[in-house]
Amino acid sequence: MTTVICPYCFARTSAAKLPYRCLMTPSGVRGGTPCGPERDDVWAGFVGPGMNPAALLRGPVFAPARGMGALASGLRAGSGSSVPCPDCGVTTTVRVCASCHSDLPSDYCDQDSRIIALVGAKASGKSTYVSVLVNELNQRVGQAYHASLAAMGQATQQRDKEMAEDLYERLRLPDATRPAALGFNDPLLYRLSVPRRGRLGSGTRHTTLVFFDAAGEDLAGAEAMDRYTRYLSAADGIVLLVDPLQLGSVRDRLPLQDGPPLPMVETSPQQIAADLAAQLRAHGKRGSRGRVSTPIAVAVTKTDMLKPLLDAHSPVLRNAPHPEGTYDEDDRLAVHEEIRSLMADWDSGALMRQLELDFDQLSMFGLSALGAPPPADAPADVPKSGPQPVRVEDPLLWLLALRGVLPVRTAGKGRAK
């Protein structure tokens, strides 16, 4: 039986038990009178008091038919079939979460979901990273894997469009993520389609990617992070962004230059990692050796600012190869060891020790979402050349490869497995 994880409240429900929402459109059946809007108190309780009262008036929610009624309607759980509203007879394909009554995209229940939690201190570049990552998955990386990425649902499509216009047309950095105290941040939903390879034959594999972005202010300590525990505990993988400009040793070693001002020092990445692990353990993510079982990809951002501290031949300074549409494990290990060595120098290995003690599966990455720092006189702007990202896809591709979504080129064997 198919289990669906709501991308908004992350409750797990059998696909066959998901309610539907009436579309409230006239159809000429049962007298031709459509249903009227009703206040959805379940959804109101979930989104909080800041919502416009008029927006809480929505189509009535009803349970799908059971038994012979379901067979007569030709329903198949998880198939995206349309069902008639029991009151007005108008058919609908809009399913809602049984727990929070959020509307689910029409094809969300039809494929596997991979929930990716994106965390990091304030000013670590999470919003910029997501926007650039989506563009790369649609362009350079998508071409390498013969893959496509499509936004799911009106909310993601609209936010995707706005972020792309800001970054690539207006050359402006996205606004900071809204803290939890100011309201709920909707996740971004995408359908990733990649060729299916293997002994079972060719075809296409569709995977739903759910990106949840937690504001830096909400990760300042264990108590604040608890607001996001239910989301983090449902994640298939976590991407922790580490801003190296937050580290005192890096700030001291960078040469004086006419660049943007250094950011304010926020919560240390070591503290965020420790709080994150503590929360996940408390919610059942403890593995057999006492470590957190959720894989974590730790990405040092803004590597364009670190060029004076890196060797000219560092693998961090060039994009990863994707030979024949496979994930290159040798390349990942080279970057992992490079970043590990750098962090040992920058913070005496404190973050790495914390991660190795707390997480069962981890890998270090280095990336630059823009490829160059913002102009010194306009720190909220993108460089005039536009984003020229380096390695932004690496953390996500590693997490997908762990789950078998992408073929992997085995280390030292030169072949995919």
For a pLDDT cut of 90, what percent of the chain falls above it? 43
* Per-residue pLDDT at 333: 96
For 262, residues 6+ apart whose C-beta sits below 8 A from its C-beta are 245, 251
Higher pLDDT pick, 114 / 217:
114
State the average pLDDT for the chain: 83
Banded pLDDT at 182 (limits 50, 70, 90):
very low
In angstroms, the CA 390 to CA 394 distance is: 9
pLDDT tens by residue, 288-346: 788 999 999 999 999 998 999 999 999 999 999 999 899 999 999 999 999 999 999 99
pLDDT tens by residue, 222-274: 555 556 777 788 889 999 999 998 888 898 888 766 666 777 777 788 888 88
Banded pLDDT at 221 (limits 50, 70, 90):
low
* Per-residue pLDDT at 176: 64
Higher pLDDT pick, 1 / 345:
345
- Section 195-207 average pLDDT: 76
In angstroms, the CA 200 to CA 311 distance is: 45
In angstroms, the CA 156 to CA 64 distance is: 27
The DSSP bridge partners found for residue 90 are none
Whether the pLDDT of residue 284 is over 80: the answer is: no
**Backbone CA torsion sign across 376, 382, 383, 388:** positive
pLDDT tens by residue, 360-389: 999 999 999 999 988 878 878 888 889 999
Inter-CA distances, 49 with 182, 230, 400, Å:
10, 20, 37
In angstroms, the CA 23 to CA 40 distance is: 14
Single out the residue of 63, 65, 59, 11 nearest to residue 39, CA to CA.
Answer: 59
Whether the pLDDT of residue 68 is over 70: the answer is: no
State phi, psi for 350 to the nearest 5 degrees.
-60, -45
- Section 163-180 average pLDDT: 79
- Angle, helices 329-347/394-402, rounded to nearest 10 degrees: 120
Three-state SS sequence of the chain: CCEEECCCCCCEEEHHHCCEECCCCCCCCHHHCCCCCEECHHHHHHHCCCCCHHHHEECCEECCCCCHHHHHCCCCCCCCCCEECCCCCCEECCEECCCCCCEECCCHHHCEEEEEEEEECCCCCHHHHHHHHHHHHHCHHHHHHCCEEEECCHHHHHHHHHHHHHHHHCCECCCCCCCHHHCCCCCEEEEEEEEECCCCCCEEEEEEEEEEECCHHHHCCHHHHHHHHHHHCCCCEEEEEECHHHCHHHHHHCCCCCCCCCCCCCCCHHHHHHHHHHHHHHCCCECCCCCECCCEEEEECCHHHHHHHCCCCCHHHCCCCCHHHCEEHHHHHHHHHHHHHHHHHHHCCHHHHHHHHHECCEEEEECECCCCCCCCCCCCECCCCCCCCECCCHHHHHHHHHCCCCCEECCCCCCEC
Banded pLDDT at 394 (limits 50, 70, 90):
very high
* Per-residue pLDDT at 287: 75
* Per-residue pLDDT at 71: 44
Other CB atoms within a 10 A radius of the CB of residue 57 amount to 12
Taking the domains of the chain in order of start, what are their residue ranges?
3-109, 111-409
Banded pLDDT at 414 (limits 50, 70, 90):
very low
* Per-residue pLDDT at 337: 96
pTM over 0.85: yes
CATH class of 111-409: alpha beta
Whether the pLDDT of residue 67 is over 60: the answer is: no
**Identity of the residue numbered 228:** Y
* Per-residue pLDDT at 29: 59
- Section 41-53 average pLDDT: 86
pLDDT tens by residue, 76-86: 444 457 888 88
Give me 129's structure tokens: 């990273």
